[in-house]
Every structure is written in C-alpha cells, then in structure tokens.
Chain A
Amino acid sequence: MAAAHGTDWRLRAFAPAVLPVVIFVWAAGHLPAVAAGGTVRLAWDWVPSLGVSLSFLIDGLSLTFALLISGIGAVVMLYSGQYLSGHEHYGRFMGYLTAFMLAMLGLVLADNLIALFVFWELTTVTSYLLIGFGHADAKSRRSALQALLVTGTGGLALLAGFILIGSVAGSFELSEVLAQPGVLTDHPWYLAILILVLAGAFTKSAQFPLHFWLPNAMAAPTPVSAYLHSATMVKGGVYLLARMHPGLGGTEPWFWSLTVFGAFTAVFASVLALRQSDLKQVLAYTTLMALGTLTLFLASGVDVAITAAVTFLIVHSLYKACLFLAVGNIDHATGTREVSRLTGGLARAMPVTTVAAGLAALSMAGFPPFLGFIGKELKYKGILAVASEPYVVVAAVLAANALMFAAAAVVAFRPFWGRGTPELEPGATPHEAPWPMWIGPAALALLGVVFGLMPDLAAVLVDPAVVAILPAGTPYELKLWHGVNVPLLLSIATFVLGLGLYLASDRLRAGLAAIEARNPVHFDRGWDRVLDGVKAFAGWQTRLVQSGELRVYLRLTFATFLAALGGTMLARGIGVPAVALPQLLAKEWAVIVLIVAGTALVVLTRSRVAAIAGLGVVGIGVALVFIIYGAPDVAITQLLVETLVVVLVAVVLLRMPRLYSEGRVIHRPVDAVLAVAIGGATTAVLLLVLEVPLDRRLTTWFEETSWPEAFGRNIVNVILVDFRALDTFGEIAVVLIAALSAFVLIKGIRREGRE
C-alpha cells in the first residue's frame, strides 16, 4: 500500500473525475441559452437508409438530466477513487462507471429513437457489469443477471414500441415525432405503442410488480448504488415518460396507468422501506418510492404537477446520492450497516458526514427552508389540482411522505444522534472519512439548502424542463412561503405522522417482518420460479427435439419442412399445375436416367458405401443439369461440393453403427412416405414458380452494370464479391464458425473417448 499513496496513485484516484467535471462545465455552458427557451441540436448520419441518425438534442429536460448525471457522476467518481483505493480491479471499475455515465448521457441527449434505444441498452449492459462487480459472490451474480433480464426484456418491448412510433409518425427523430400533436394518440396503434413504451419505462424505473430487481441491485459497491440506482439509471424510465409526455400523454390510458402504478409503487415501497434492517436497503426502497411518486406526477398534464415532478426529481437526486454516500462512510467507519446496531453516538466521530447526512435528510423529510420542502408543497398542490379522486391519491402521497420522513430519520438521524452506542465490527474505530469521501456528499447537501433559500436558482433548472414536457404550459413559480393553505396543513400532518412512525419504527419493523414471514407472495422468489420454469421447459423441449438419435433429428427436420411447405399449399388452396411434358433431347434423357438410377441405388442397397456412391451419382447428375442450362459456376461448385461430401461422409460412416440394426425395417415405410411427400411438395412448388413469368429486371440490371461499375464479366462472382459483399462476408463468417464448432466437437469426442 505504500506505493498506493504516491503521486501515481493520486493520479489514478482523481483522473476519472476529470471527464464528468468537463462534461458538467460543457453542459452548464448551455444553461443561459436553454433558459431563454432555445435548443441545440447536433446530428450525424448513422444509417441514413433506415432513417437512423446519431442526433442529440439539448433542451430543458435533457440539460437538467445531463447536469445531474455529470455532476453527481463527478462526486461519485471522486468518492470511488478513495472508496475502492487499492482494489485489484480498480481500473476495470472506473472503466465500467465511465462507460455507464456516457451511455446515460447519450440516453438523455439522444434525439433519435433508435439511438436512444442503443444507449438505453448500453446502460443496461454497463449496469449489469457494475452490479456484478463483486463477481466472486453468487448473490452479486444473481442480482446482476436479474437486473439485466428484467430491464433487458423491457428494453426489447421499448424497441418494438419505438419501431411502431417510427412507422406511425414517419420519422425516428424525436423532435419531429413530438412536433406533430395527436399523431400518436389518435392512431389505432396508440394502445399498443403505449403498452410497449410503458413496459420499457416501468422495468427500468422498477415500478411494481417489477420492482424487485432494484433492492437486489444493492449488491453493487455503495458508490454504484448511489449513482445508478438512485440518481441516474432508474431515472432513465422517468426520463422516458417525461420525454414522451407530449407525444403519448394527455389520454385516459396514460393518466390511469401512470397514476395507479405510480401511487401503488410509492406507498408499497415506503412501507417496505421501514421493514428493512440494512441502511442501504432502506434507501433502496425509498428510491422505489421516489420513482413511484415521479411516475404518478407525470400522469397528468397540469402545470403544477409537472413542476412538482421536475422539482422532486432534482430534490431526490441531491439527497439520495448524498445519503447513499454517507451510508458508505458509516459502513467504512463502523464495518456495519445494520439499523439495529447503529443506534447513535457517531456524531462526534464523523462531524462532516453527520452534518451532510443531516441536511440531506431534512431535505428528504421536507423541512423548510430546504428544496425538499418546496418539492413537497408542490406535490400536495399538484395532487389537489389534478386528481379526479383527490382524497385517495392525497392519502397515498401523505402516507408515502410520512413514511419517507421516518426513513430519513432512521438513516440520517439515529446513527449519529441516537442515545445508544454503535456495535462496531471488531477492530473498527469510528472516524471521519478522508476528504474525497465527504466533500461530495457535503456539496450535494448544501445545494439542497441553497436551492431552497434561493428558489430562483432552482427555477433555472426546473422551468425549461417543465416547458420541454409541457410545451404549452407555464411553470409554476417556486416559492418557500405560499401562506397558510391546504398544502401547508398537509405538510404539518406529514411531520406529525412521520415523527410517530419514526418513534414506532422498531416495533413496525418487527411487525412487518412477521407479516412478511406469513405472506405467501414473494416477487423475488417468484422470479426464481419463473426462471426455473423457463429452464425446465427448455430442457424438456431439447430432450424432445434433440434426442441424440440421428434418425429422429432427420425426421424432425424434414417433417417440419414438409409441414411448412405442404401446410401453406393446403391453407392457400394451391393445386399442382398441369404441365405438358416437353420435348427432351437425348442427353437430357441420359441425365434423368442417371439421377433416377443413383436414387434407386441409394434406396435399395444394403451397403453404406454403395449408398454414398449413389448419392454422389445423383449430385453429379444435378451438376450436369446446371452445365446443360448454362450455369458453369454453379455446376463447378456442385461437383466440388459433391466430391468433398462423399469424402466426408465416407469418413464419418466408418464410425456409424451397422446399417441394418434392429428395428430399421419398421422405420422404412414412414421414411418412404416422408421422402415421397417432400419430393412431391418440392416439385409442385418448383412447377408453381415456373408458372410465374420470370422477372428479368434484376438480371438485366446486373448485366448492364456489372462491367461498367464493377469491372467484371462474371456476374455471379461480381454479385458475390462486390454488389452483395457484405452478405458474402456474413456467409463466410458462418462457414468459419460452423467449421470451428464442428472441429471442437470432433476433438472433444476424441478426448472423451480416450480417457
């Protein structure tokens, strides 16, 4: 460790934080222009033929997100430089974290739906790597895979939704889609689009009943939890909802699905937050609560509600990142995160962390003069303004806020100021963390105060974002004091209720644990059961289709082919066309006789070698047909492949069991029926193809352009290596993969056989 404290190490610790700082400054430079109502668009062509471009749009919404992502990113990277100092995979960790941050920035800035989807999936992949960072631990691996599968599945639904949007609106550019009001909501596909997009947003933002992956993702190192699972990645879903609000919002299905899922998730999660005994888990469930609340407030199109959502988004990012990092400091100092062991006494040992966590918690609980207070007042005002069932939703928001108050006290009050003494891990002495680990949390906590005291400053971030979500709306003015009104009374009720819940929190935790023990519904275990079910089904169908017997494989393959071919012909009612036998030349008759004789040999012989030779004869006959009808390239290839196949099959056959093993005779009639049926169906299809006059447009085009444009007279070859070179490249890649796989299989069998 001695070398770790040299300049070299300092460079490694601080260098990663430089990039987010640079991005933050760059983004902040756009603030004046965006606050004045402007937008900046940057675009590069990517796949112009498909309408996919790498375009970015900086408007109020994306800029607010970009500032949060890069600002909190800088704090987290500075923190991680210390938190993981000396870790053997430190470089890998910072690489993942930086990649994640860039993907997240791409997600919020992208103006093209396909580009947005690509960044969306990149955040999924990088978060998989970060959650599974401690890959030696089975729990980490499981949590990482769970997050990947849940959010990845949602991502696929999102892609389908985006493609539908693209075909409905005629463009993949978000700014163009959203500029046509009603184009999506009035379309018959609206409901399908809505369901697909919501599936993507709800999985990413962990809405009930797909919430279970988020608390499990806490298996990641603490800075990752602070960054991904509170401030950024899970907000990706919220961002999407806010971004699509002008295009998809304003309808009944949008309003009700967001209200119901959001409100339920908020209350459900905040109750569960009090049940947790690990500080990180408490915070994880309050994150779920926040996501539910944000979803709920994006349901309507009322100015106050949207202003509340954007304000709360900023409030939550600031205090949540701060609290997570503070919990990391507690863990660092005491070696534990158990609520029951941290009952007080840390304030003297960790003064800065104490103050930072305290300020953040006051903002979280919604005390004046913090930004959290403004956020909470706005929430009550917003709910009263929109809800058609105001009492139910107000009750839900009140309960969630009171529970959050209690959770804030559990996390940031009791460990520091409580009357008990902490039960430390052996060998741990409570101490303040080194400065890179407290300066960030302290700065975030202070911002919560500054924004609260000077709401105009916060409005610079909030107002343009509100305008981006509601182009026609006017942002509600952020103020600390609105006079005595209903929201203020509700705030006071929140404090009283929250205090009571905090005082009873130990009994509540025990009670909730008892209920949970008897509750038969477990989403996390249900997930395991779903996965086991999928695996069992896959195993069953593999055993069914791939029995290990060559005859079954062949029969299944051909039967499937026949079903597809014959089934289509029957379903479409296509008959076999009548064809008059044409006048054939002697050489053509000779070829036919050759092929028929070869076939007869294959079917009738009792010797494998003779059968192979017979097949070779058939192949050569077909090659002759190609020569007669003027396709020398195909003929040469056919001849060579035929030769090699005979060699290969001959080698393989030496290992096969005897041709006339028991039971074969019983199989022959079935095989014969199958063979005749496939032969008949294929012939019928070929005759049908010949009935249609040959479209020579492509042939003519290739004949005309092959020489002047590609300098080649052999059209077949020119198509292969020039016009369709990318296809050929794919094909030779497949050839290589097939050869290598077969090689490994053969060598593997040989090694097993020898041992």
Chain B
Amino acid sequence: MNSVILMAGSRILVALLLVFSVFMLLRGHNEPGGGFIGGLIGAVGFVIYAIACGTSSAREALRVPPETVAAAGLGVALLGGVWAAVDGDAFFTGQWLFLGATEDSKGLPLSSVLVFDVGVYLVVFGSILSLVFALEEEV
C-alpha cells in the first residue's frame, strides 16, 4: 500500500501501541489488561506497520522471527511455573518478591505470575504475527 500518510502515521502508531501493550501487560493484575490483551495490542501495532510499509520492513523492525518469539514465550511461561517448583511449592504456585517493602507499602511487587504473563504476551504476539506475515507474504 503506497500511502505516505499511513506510512508516516504508522511509525508513531506502532511505538504508541507497543508502549501501550506493555502498559496493559503490567497493569493486568489489578486493572483490566494482562498478557493476552497486551500481546494482541502489540500484534495489532506490527500488523498496521506491515500493512503500511510491507512485511519485509516489519520483519526487519522485529529483528527476530515471530515464530521464535512465540516459542520463547512458551519457554518463559514454563519458567514462571518452574520457579515455584524450585522453591519447593507445587508447579505454578505464585511466588512473590516485594522489593523495598515497608510497613505501609508493599514496595515493588515482582512475581513468577508476572513472568508467566510475559510468556503469555510473547506467545500471543508471536503467534499472530507469524500467521499474518505468512499470509501477507503469500498473496
């Protein structure tokens, strides 16, 4: 598609959507959002970029093949589960780390649950992009 406006606009849009997708991923535990939604939003960003500038530049911008991203996501999710097993809990039990916690605040909550959600994000993101890229290239 040869639209200068779309091409110029898509660059900003991709950046915004990617940032927004990470925002959705991180807020997911307490507000609407999460890995699945985040991954979808991130994928939409790259789909727009692929429509505007072509799949080859979208692939270049991604640097890593989307299939690899998806497979790595499954590995990351598994890691989130194994973390609990290493700690001696049942597989996939949430493990929490409150950095700098005080009496009043919980500090910075880091958890195996977040690792798992990052894995979900990557699987959804990678799977959709590998499909869309393959289909667009085929036509």
User: A interface vs B, CB < 8 Å?
Assistant: 632-633, 636-637, 640-641, 643-644, 647-648, 651-652, 654-655, 710-714, 716-718, 720-722, 725-726, 728-729, 732-733, 735-736, 738-740, 742-743, 746-747, 749-750
Contact = CB atoms under 8 A, between A and B. Distances in A.
Given A637-B40, A722-B94, A714 B124 contact: no
B138 A750 contact: yes
B14 interface: no
Contacts, number: 144
A604 B28 CA distance: 41
A655 B126 CA distance: 24
10 A-B pairs with the lowest CB-CB distances in the bound complex, closest first = A739-B127, A640-B40, A725-B92, A632-B32, A712-B29, A713-B30, A717-B34, A732-B123, A746-B134, A651-B135
B54 interface: no
Contact of A637 (B37, B96, B134): B37
Nearest to B115: A721
B40 A641 contact: yes
B74 A742 contact: no
Contacts of A712: 29-30, 113
B59 to A, nearest CB: 13
Interface of B: 28-37, 40-41, 43-44, 47, 51, 67, 70-71, 73-74, 77-78, 80-81, 91-92, 94, 96, 106, 109, 111, 113, 116-117, 119-120, 123-124, 126-128, 130-132, 134-139
Contact of A714 (B30, B74, B91, B134): B30
Nearest to A712: B29
Contact of B123 (A716, A726, A735, A746): A735
14 contacts: A644-B47, A644-B132, A648-B132, A710-B94, A711-B96, A711-B111, A714-B33, A721-B28, A721-B120, A726-B81, A732-B73, A739-B130, A740-B71, A746-B131
Contacts of A738: 127
A656 to B, nearest CB: 11
B127 A735 contact: yes
Nearest to A749: B138
Contacts of A717: 28-29, 33-34, 117
Given A644-B44, A648-B132, A718 B139 contact: no
A729 B81 contact: yes
A736 B36 CA distance: 13
A739 B29 contact: no
Contacts of A736: 70-71, 73-74, 123, 126-127
A567 B70 CA distance: 40
* Residue from B41, B94, B130, B137 with most neighbouring chain A CB atoms (10 Å): B94
Given A640-B37, A720-B34, A738-B127, A710 B138 contact: no
B113 A722 contact: yes
Nearest to B117: A721
A742 B131 contact: yes
